Amino acid sequence: MKNLTLKQLRAFSTLIRTKSVTKTAEILHVTPPAVTTQLRILEEEVGLPLINRTGKTFRLTQAGVEVLAATSRINAALAECATAIEGIDGGSRGRVTIGVVSTAKYFAPKAIAQFARINEDVDVRLIVGNRREIIEALDDYKVDCAIMGRPPEEPGINRTIIGDHPHIVIAPPDHPLRNERNIPLNKLISESMLIREYGSGTRLLFETMLVELGITIGENTFGMEISSNETIKQSVMAGLGISFLSAHAVSRELQDGLLVVLDVAGLPRIRQWFVVRQHDKRMMPAAIKFYEFMLNNGKQFLPGIPQLQPAKRVII
């Protein structure tokens, strides 16, 4: 494999990401036949097929998985090199790319803004997505570190707790159960439950809770699947249903009386916020500064949550 080129690896990784030869060609500013040629040469050099083609579908072979992982590490090393070079001879003192799960946007930007004010010479870049998307960014070495509530369990991931992350059931202020206490969760299944999309850590946690109670999850378990916390909040306020969300996502609405917390048995469910990074990713000075900043100061940016009963907290 001595004759592999970056051009071949970029064509391969871009094709896997776009799942389209035409789109890959557009991104790389080449012709579709050129993309096909680069892939063919790469497979000849490796000595094994990298992709199984079924119609218009591309599936990685075992060899393809290995080559794609190596490509991600190579791209990360080149990015680290570029960042280090920028800091030579009086240039910029570095760049940090931060991944943030969408639910963390209710406190993470304030922390990042404070870090940026303290470190004016650091170029801060932000990637926001759901849990699955941020884990992919970590796996692909596209971010230096990430702020998330449910980090992956792989041994190559370093995770450190920032602070508590409570989850609650919210409802409109006139909901019939607003004054009830210790409501069984299974009593709410008959309600129209507005739930986050697949890949969301919030949804994964709620489904775990249902399984613990022996509740079967079927097509009609949830009222609506919505991929935005903001849309869910507006829908609950409009009376379309209730929802299980991060308490930090609804702090302002609870304070303003636009939503209420239903007193559900076993809630709030307390997880934690983490700052996460790949163990084998070389951390540049700017990234180290941010990582340490979040460890030392991240907790102070977490929103205060009204209407919660601390004695009921269940830490998991």
The alpha carbon dihedral of 166, 96, 70, 158 has a sign of: negative
Q: Which of 92-96, 101-105, 174-178 has the lowest mean pLDDT?
A: 92-96
pLDDT for the residue 310: 43
Q: Do 248 and 280 fall into the same domain?
A: no
Q: Do 198 and 64 fall into the same domain?
A: no
Q: Do 89 and 123 fall into the same domain?
A: yes
**Mean pLDDT, the chain, as a whole number?**
86
Q: Do 158 and 181 fall into the same domain?
A: no
Q: Do 281 and 151 fall into the same domain?
A: yes
Rounded distance between C-alpha atoms, residue 34 and residue 21, angstroms: 10
pTM of the model: 0.67
Q: Do 311 and 212 fall into the same domain?
A: yes
pLDDT for the residue 104: 92
Domain closes at, from 73, 94, 114 = 73
Is 175 among the domain residues?
Answer: yes
Rounded distance between C-alpha atoms, residue 197 and residue 121, angstroms: 38
Does residue 313 register a pLDDT over 50?
Answer: no
Q: Do 10 and 152 fall into the same domain?
A: no
Rounded distance between C-alpha atoms, residue 290 and residue 144, angstroms: 9
Q: What pLDDT, in 10s, does the model give residues 253-304? A: 999 999 999 999 989 999 999 999 988 887 888 899 999 999 999 999 998 8
CATH number for the domain including 54?
A: 1.10.10.10
pLDDT for the residue 3: 77
Average pLDDT of 122-132? 91
Does residue 53 register a pLDDT over 80?
Answer: no
Q: Do 48 and 99 fall into the same domain?
A: no
* 8 Å CB contact between 88 and 114: no
Q: What pLDDT, in 10s, does the model give residues 219-265? A: 777 888 998 999 999 999 999 999 999 999 999 999 999 999 999 99
Does residue 140 register a pLDDT over 90?
Answer: no
Rounded distance between C-alpha atoms, residue 213 and residue 191, angstroms: 17
Is 284 among the domain residues?
Answer: yes
Q: What pLDDT, in 10s, does the model give residues 147-165? A: 999 898 887 889 999 999 9
Q: Do 311 and 216 fall into the same domain?
A: yes
Rounded distance between C-alpha atoms, residue 50 and residue 54, angstroms: 13
Rounded distance between C-alpha atoms, residue 63 and residue 66, angstroms: 5
Is 79 among the domain residues?
Answer: no
Q: Do 264 and 189 fall into the same domain?
A: yes
Q: What pLDDT, in 10s, does the model give residues 181-197? A: 999 988 888 889 999 98
Q: What pLDDT, in 10s, does the model give residues 202-226? A: 999 999 998 888 888 877 778 889 9
pLDDT for the residue 182: 93
The tokens describing 34, both together, are 């050129």
Is 78 among the domain residues?
Answer: no
Is 27 among the domain residues?
Answer: yes
Place of tokens 């949804």: 203
Q: Do 198 and 254 fall into the same domain?
A: yes
Domain closes at, from 73, 95, 124 = 73
The domain tally of the chain equals 3
Q: What pLDDT, in 10s, does the model give residues 15-27? A: 888 888 888 899 8
pLDDT for the residue 314: 40
Does residue 123 register a pLDDT over 60?
Answer: yes
Is 80 among the domain residues?
Answer: no
Is 1 among the domain residues?
Answer: no
Rounded distance between C-alpha atoms, residue 145 and residue 128, angstroms: 12
Does residue 315 register a pLDDT over 60?
Answer: no
Q: Do 214 and 176 fall into the same domain?
A: yes
**3-state SS assignment for residue 78:** helix
Rounded distance between C-alpha atoms, residue 210 and residue 272, angstroms: 20
**Which residue range forms the structural domain that includes residue 62?**
6-73
Domain closes at, from 51, 73, 95 = 73
CATH number for the domain including 276?
A: 3.40.190.10
